[in-house]
Structure 1
Amino acid sequence: MKKKIIAGLAVAALSLVLVACGNGGKTDTTGTKETNSSAQATTIEIEDSNGKVTVPKNPKKVVVFDNGSLDTINELGAGDAVIGAAVDNLPTYLEKFNSVESAGGIKEPDLEKINQIQPDLIIISGRQQDFQEELSKIAPTVFLSVDNKDTWASIQKNVTTLGKIFDKEDEAKEKLASLEKEIATTKEAAEKSGMKALVVLVNEGQLSAYGEGSRFGIVHDTFGFAQADDGIEASTHGQSVSFEYVLEKNPDVLFVVDRTKAIGGDDSQNNLTDNELVKQTTAGKEDKVIQLSPDVWYLSGGGLESTHLMLEDVNKALK
């Protein structure tokens, strides 16, 4: 009888060990399974420009097409997670990422390469939006755009979102606060100056003007420069204008984005400071034709570092 009792106890003990092993190493008194934290995949729900999306928290392998998001990730101290980018279209200030995998062009992702490197997360801009569905089949894909009608608010939202994803919320809050102080200083000086500004993009000698609500509207709605023309049509590609138009509007400051220098081409006709009509404007006479950093303004924007660099550019007009 005694032997039967001992044998029964042994079987029971063995059963408990097997159950414990099957439950990941731990079993509580209620029988609830506890997963080892090292094996637990943590995800969070965030809201991007399309709505709510579930993404991995603190991802270790990320492909980034949006250069503004790329510079924010780097500023937050999570740059080591980036394993792929559109390296042929990186602005100079992000050249440290030239060594990561090329994930395709800025407008056409290399789906095969991205599938090979198996990222945990993909971050895109509007230039890759047509590929979002296909990219989402490879990994969770986040679209972070900048709202041209409310630039600074959307930048803050995007930076905060990236802070949540990479578990860098405190860093994001601190850096946004610092950047907001910079913006306030510039905005106050711009408004006090009373100068009216015109932003144009030049491409192989052809001009497009941008005002509030456009891709370069940050000059007005965030940095505080009044518009030389309140009637500019807000559009992605700007309003096609002539040099006669520039003279007619006579801006105190002319901000110039040279698209040709950003992506290549014939820029022999792009030097607006040499144009006879531009020379007759107040901006031309007062040496206020400001060449904005083309790779920052055309290829990036909306990030912590790119916004800081944009501030440095427009501050040249206030000196």
Structure 2
Amino acid sequence: MTRTPFVLAAVIAGALSFTALAAVAQDKTIAHVQGETTISGVPAKVLVQDWAVFDNLQALGVAVAGVPASNAPSYLAEFLPADAIKIGSLFEPDFEGIAAAEADLYIVAGRSREAFGTGSEILPTIDLSVNNAAIIDGVKANLTTLGEVFDLQAKAAELNTALDAKVAEVKAAAEGKGNALVLVTNAGNIGVYGPDSRIAWLYNELAIPSAMADVKDGDHGGDTVSFEFILETNPDWLFVVDRDAGVGENGGAAAALLDNELVNQTNAAKQGHIVYLDPQAAYISMHGYNAVMLLLEQVLAGLNA
């Protein structure tokens, strides 16, 4: 059948219209803590300036092209691509390298959140920073967001279900087991982490009561305390974050520091209730799915020992 010019024009116009609609349908507007970012399609080349984001993407099975140049948690080492582009430190991104990478998406969070403005001028950028007072909810929200970005909604939901189940399991194990202090050691000093800290889930989600009524959570060292204070408070449990080991310095310093006459008189020490948490998962990548699951397993093992 011979088509008239009018019919042909209509067919072409319809095809073009369909193509345009398909292109628009590929665009996604992603909400995050610093606003909204529009991305086109599923990003193929992704740069991350945060190890917790890398952790979450690894859990989802998403390949990452660019990563921070330092402080890689050892539990993630086997997943790091040998040819990964190093895009600067957690605090100081290499924006020239980021621009040269010609990536589809750049993700910042936590320590690198200040890079959002400059990053957004180079390529689509999202900020997946998490509020420490609601870490579990933050991890789940980020998995959901990443599931939307990469069309992996079912996988994200699966991970969130597993995380909820693990939290419930550890919470049940902690019930009736007494109170706790979460200590952080830092260059020979001791601090206490509380309900707004990077280990807030231990208090807020597991409902383990704090042995210290009011905690002023410091950025690095928590609320500074002494050995005498720890004995006076006499917690049933001590959960310990060795910051020195977390940033690659003096591994094992926390255990040596706390092995003293005063701490050894506490209920926690006498009952063998001192749990040393993975320092990198607890201090560097505490907003990552694998990190939180690892820490929950360590708490569970301690509670059930």
Residue in structure 1 matching 2:259, options 251, 265, 274: 274
Residue 88 (structure 1) aligns with? 70
What SS does the corresponding residue of 1:133 show, helix, strand or coil? helix
Residue 295 (structure 1) aligns with? 280
Residue 243 (structure 1) aligns with? 227
Alpha-carbon offset, residue 234 of structure 1: 3.4
Residue 155 (structure 1) aligns with? 139
- Root-mean-square deviation (CA), in Å? 2.5
Aligned residues: 299
Aligned-partner Cα distance in 2 for 1:41–1:119: 21
Residue 213 (structure 2) aligns with? 230
Residue 123 (structure 1) aligns with? 107
Choose 143-152 or 202-211, whichever is displaced more.
Answer: 143-152
Residue 112 (structure 1) aligns with? 96
**Rg larger for:** 1
After TM superposition, the structure 1 = structure 2 runs for residues 252-267 of structure 1, keeping only pairs within 5 Å, are 252-266=236-250
Aligned-partner Cα distance in 1 for 2:76–2:21: 35
Alpha-carbon offset, residue 43 of structure 1: 2.1
Residue in structure 2 matching 1:175, options 141, 159, 167: 159
Contact preservation (8 Å) 2:236, 2:273 = yes
Residue 61 (structure 1) aligns with? 45
Residue 208 (structure 1) aligns with? 191
Contact preservation (8 Å) 2:113, 2:129 = no
Percent identity among equivalent residues?
34
Alpha-carbon offset, residue 36 of structure 1: 7.3
Residue 44 (structure 1) aligns with? 28
Aligned-partner residue type, residue 127 of structure 2: F
Alpha-carbon offset, residue 168 of structure 1: 0.5
Q: TM-score, normalised by structure 2?
A: 0.89
Residue in structure 1 matching 2:13, options 27, 31, 38: 27
Contact preservation (8 Å) 2:45, 2:104 = yes
Residue in structure 2 matching 1:196, options 179, 183, 199: 179
What SS does the corresponding residue of 2:19 show, helix, strand or coil? coil
Alpha-carbon offset, residue 230 of structure 1: 2.1
Unaligned runs of 5+ in 1: 1-8
Contact preservation (8 Å) 2:183, 2:239 = yes
Q: Deviations over 1:15-61 (max 9, x none)?
A: 987x69xxxx9432xx8633279977822112211232223342101
Aligned-partner Cα distance in 2 for 1:264–1:32: 57
Quick check: 1:71 aligned with 2:59?
Answer: no
Residue 6 (structure 1) aligns with? none
Moved segments of 4+, more than 4 Å: 36-41, 266-269
Q: TM-score, normalised by structure 1?
A: 0.85
Aligned-partner Cα distance in 1 for 2:192–2:129: 21
